[in-house]
Structure 1
Amino acid sequence: MSTALPHKRGWCPTAWQPMAAGDGLILRIRPRLARLSPDQMRLVADTARIHGNGAIDLTNRAALQLRGLSYNSWEQALQSLIAADLVDEDPGREARAILIAPDWQHGDDTHRLAIELYRRLDELPALPGKTGLAIDTGRVARLTGNSGDFRLERGETGDIILRADGRAAGVAIRHGGEIDALIGLARWFTESGGGEAGRMARHRAALPDWARGDLRPLSCATPPEQGAHPLGTALALPFGRMDAAMLELLAGIGGMRALRLTPWRIALLEGVAPTVPAIPFGDPRLLAVDACVGAPACPRASVETRTLAARLAPHISGRLHVSGCAKGCARAGPADLVATGDNGRFRIAFHARADDPAYAEDLSPDDLAALIESMFRAA
């Protein structure tokens, strides 16, 4: 295989197009149905260990990122992942970002529609790199707050609706025509100039008549808490981080049928009871904290992030975001408190994004921690 590896930075990596970072290449895996068997878990762990630095991230689109791969061996990693049916042999199909409500059951609408969409991926037009498709048609909404440009959801009336991201309501779709409608909306997006906007929510063209409706999706349920889950056990992964050893440990737990990935930095251990002693439960308080990998793993970052985030978390009521730079990769939206790296120091803002004007700046980690602790004590 001879694959030209791009050297640009800042886009979303795939398995076929890894992205350069400070600790090596990042290779992203999007397992079908966001589900890995124990054998696939072991294969991913071996790949992360042999070809990378062993670090694995769970992303907010329910994908896995292997870190620290080398330019000399990432193609070997790719081939082993293709052989394990974890990566599509076609780069175009592999690049499709599909988000599926993780509590699907075999044969239900979400499962049915996801299987059909995977089968028909070649019918989708060329879309901007970060464009995503979401399928969330269970009786409880799970993904309303998660990224997805073209969405199949359960409406308040019980119908399955098609909704364009950025629009509050969608249109009911007849049974059996859902994927036709989803593909049709994606084609309209490209034909109407959506590529220039980049994302559906930023595309201001009026929707075609057939895609307009007034049916709202179900209100989104909160993500599961760590512990018992209808599928088995929900496991918190602070900052979305695990490693090869942890994934291998999970694969060997008695009763493990599969690992399901979610967009909330929570993994679902299918078939595993929460009382199993081997489960490496994480600190659930850190699920309200967004922190990128920071320096030195990211060349854009000028500060370490996650140690500081864990230090600040007990003092913050609400959402905390610690970002290595103003790009704000870990969280696009505002947080109750955001601390942003700036030339080796920090600036902070409240109810803001990483690139918003600062409330205070030129702070060392100790300065920042002391300021936050004093402010929240006073409150």
Structure 2
Amino acid sequence: MTRSDPSEADSHGVATGLRPAAKGWCPGAHRAMASGDGLLVRVRPQLARLTSAQALGLCALAGRLGSGLIDLTHRANLQLRGVKPDDHGAVVDGLCALGLADADVTREGRPPVLVAPCWQAGDDTEGIAKELLSRLDELPALPPKFGFAVDAGPAPVLAAAPADVRIERARSGGLLVRADGAAAGHPVSRAAAVDAALAMAAWFAATAQRVEPASRRMRGHQRIFSWTDGPQPLEPAADPASLPAPGMSSLGPVYGVPFGQIEAAALAALLRDSGASGLRLTPHRALVLEGGRWCDAVAFITVPGDPLLRVDACPGAPSCASATVATHAVARALASGLAAAGSAAPRSLHVSGCAKGCARARPADATWVGRDGAFDLVRGGCAWDAPVQTRLPPEALCSLIGMP
């Protein structure tokens, strides 16, 4: 990921290939962040799981003290939107009562731990994740977005999800600890996995300041330095597998969430109708209802081939103060146009309210970027890359699907 730079846009505001600096910070429960529609309050459920009672309580909070909208993030977290500053304290109290936030504010600053959603009680993923979560206070200070992934099932499913230190299955069948971006990792025993992951993070903290500007994520840093304290020789990870897709899974029904945003009332209705005992989150905008029965739900994505799954979109205007365009209506129209385009249709689309590209940090086949109420088109790149066309009206976007 390219760091921001004063020359990130030309004199007309057109992106030129350098990602604009993010404003604000990664929100939490105690440390909310202001957006165009109020405060964002982020919830980080342990093991990416909520009980049904916790999920229903969260929906009630979102409806009573927020805008009624809940976001799913790429780290399998949840965000309540539209919280008024005067109501923030009540929201935090409610989250603490539900067991979804810690009364100790300092715990919120610990690195996030992303967990593969298909873990079973007593397996390596659950055991390693619980141990790692209990030992995060052993770490030195790390950059705000630095995090871990525990992905110790039969095959890695979080390869495309954001993380800096990964504990995953090796091709040989054992476990390994791998720096994000590295082709191979250090083989470890189950008992030594957390020790090795913490040691790799501590190495990053000790060496990240040796470059200018200081490294903030592992992917770029490990190209400069090589962690040599881990077990040798290195081993490749097992071939990646897919995250649960909409439909039935071994754990229960799986539903996609268009653009990662859902009305709390719709989620609460689905939980009650399904009879699910719990809710698991995936980093690709999907929900797994533990032990639930299948229910038709028009607000969710229910089939694996739905074109909406190929389109990323941020909240856009007016929800985000940085955006000058509405994004979700445009994204839905583009998704509808994918089927009509047939084999010429791109595999991935991205609609971004501005050049920061918050909804998708990876390149997409086509990215539409809002600027001054119109859109710029980027082919095969990110929202901050130089566009091939500029100032396109929203009604013209669908006609460009499939064009070279």
Q: By the TM > 0.5 criterion, same fold?
A: yes
Q: Which moved more, 1:174-183 or 1:292-301?
A: 174-183
Which of 279, 289, 292 is the matching residue for 1:259? 279
Scaled by the length of structure 1, the TM-score of the pair is: 0.92
Post-superposition offset of 1:88: 2.1
Give the conservation status (yes or no) of the 8 Å contact 2:258–2:300.
no
Which whole-Å CA distance do the structure 1 matches of 2:165 and 2:231 have between them? 11
2:48 is the counterpart of 1:45: no
Q: Per-residue displacement from partner, 1:94-132 (whole Å, max 9, x unpaired)?
A: 233110000000000000011111221211222111111
Which whole-Å CA distance do the structure 1 matches of 2:387 and 2:331 have between them? 18
* RMSD of aligned alpha carbons: 1.8
Q: Per-residue displacement from partner, 1:281-315 (whole Å, max 9, x unpaired)?
A: 42632111110000111111111111101101233
SS state of the match for residue 370, structure 1? Answer: helix
Q: What residue is the counterpart of 2:219 in the other structure? A: 201
2:236 is the counterpart of 1:226: no
SS state of the match for residue 201, structure 2? Answer: helix
Which of 168, 182, 188 is the matching residue for 1:173? 188
Q: What residue is the counterpart of 2:122 in the other structure? A: 107
SS state of the match for residue 11, structure 1? Answer: coil
Q: What residue is the counterpart of 2:357 in the other structure? A: 328
Post-superposition offset of 1:216: 1.0
Q: What residue is the counterpart of 1:309 in the other structure? A: 331
Q: What residue is the counterpart of 2:145 in the other structure? A: 130
Which whole-Å CA distance do the structure 1 matches of 2:391 and 2:371 have between them? 8
Q: What residue is the counterpart of 1:268 in the other structure? A: 288
- The structure showing larger relative contact order (alpha-carbon pairs under 8 Å, at least 6 residues apart) is 2
What are the residue-to-residue correspondences of 1:78-89 with 2, within 5 Å? Answer: 78-89=92-103
Q: What residue is the counterpart of 1:21 in the other structure? A: 35
Which whole-Å CA distance do the structure 2 matches of 1:339 and 1:127 have between them? 33
What are the residue-to-residue correspondences of 1:286-301 with 2, within 5 Å? Answer: 286-301=308-323
Q: What residue is the counterpart of 1:360 in the other structure? A: 389
Gaps of 5+ in 1: 1-7
Give the conservation status (yes or no) of the 8 Å contact 1:9–1:20.
no
Task: Give the residue type in structure 2 aligned to 1:202.
Answer: G
Which whole-Å CA distance do the structure 1 matches of 2:85 and 2:215 have between them? 33
Which whole-Å CA distance do the structure 2 matches of 1:212 and 1:48 have between them? 49
Q: Which moved more, 1:67-76 or 1:205-214?
A: 205-214
SS state of the match for residue 39, structure 1? Answer: helix
Which whole-Å CA distance do the structure 1 matches of 2:231 and 2:208 have between them? 17
Which whole-Å CA distance do the structure 1 matches of 2:129 and 2:360 have between them? 27
Give the conservation status (yes or no) of the 8 Å contact 1:110–1:138.
yes
SS state of the match for residue 273, structure 2? Answer: coil
Give the conservation status (yes or no) of the 8 Å contact 1:169–1:213.
no
Which of 235, 239, 256 is the matching residue for 2:255? 235
Give the conservation status (yes or no) of the 8 Å contact 1:185–1:211.
no
Give the conservation status (yes or no) of the 8 Å contact 1:170–1:212.
no
Give the conservation status (yes or no) of the 8 Å contact 1:253–1:278.
no
Q: What residue is the counterpart of 1:139 in the other structure? A: 154
Gaps of 5+ in 2: 1-21, 339-344
Post-superposition offset of 1:354: 0.5
Task: Give the residue type in structure 1 aligned to 2:369.
Answer: T
Give the conservation status (yes or no) of the 8 Å contact 1:194–1:200.
no
Task: Give the residue type in structure 1 aligned to 2:379.
Answer: F
SS state of the match for residue 230, structure 2? Answer: helix
Which whole-Å CA distance do the structure 2 matches of 1:212 and 1:22 have between them? 50
Give the conservation status (yes or no) of the 8 Å contact 1:189–1:200.
yes
Runs of 4+ in 1 over 6 A off after TM superposition: none
Give the conservation status (yes or no) of the 8 Å contact 1:162–1:211.
no
Scaled by the length of structure 2, the TM-score of the pair is: 0.87
Give the conservation status (yes or no) of the 8 Å contact 2:168–2:237.
yes
Which whole-Å CA distance do the structure 2 matches of 1:254 and 1:206 have between them? 49
Give the conservation status (yes or no) of the 8 Å contact 1:144–1:219.
no
Q: What residue is the counterpart of 1:54 in the other structure? A: 68
Which whole-Å CA distance do the structure 2 matches of 1:277 and 1:250 have between them? 9
Q: Per-residue displacement from partner, 1:170-197 (whole Å, max 9, x unpaired)?
A: 0111231111111111111111125921
Q: Which moved more, 1:214-223 or 1:165-174?
A: 214-223
Which whole-Å CA distance do the structure 2 matches of 1:125 and 1:194 have between them? 13
Post-superposition offset of 1:278: 5.9
Q: What residue is the counterpart of 2:5 in the other structure? A: none
Task: Give the residue type in structure 1 aligned to 2:374.
Answer: R
Q: What residue is the counterpart of 1:76 in the other structure? A: 90
Give the conservation status (yes or no) of the 8 Å contact 2:167–2:197.
yes
Q: Which moved more, 1:87-96 or 1:182-191?
A: 87-96
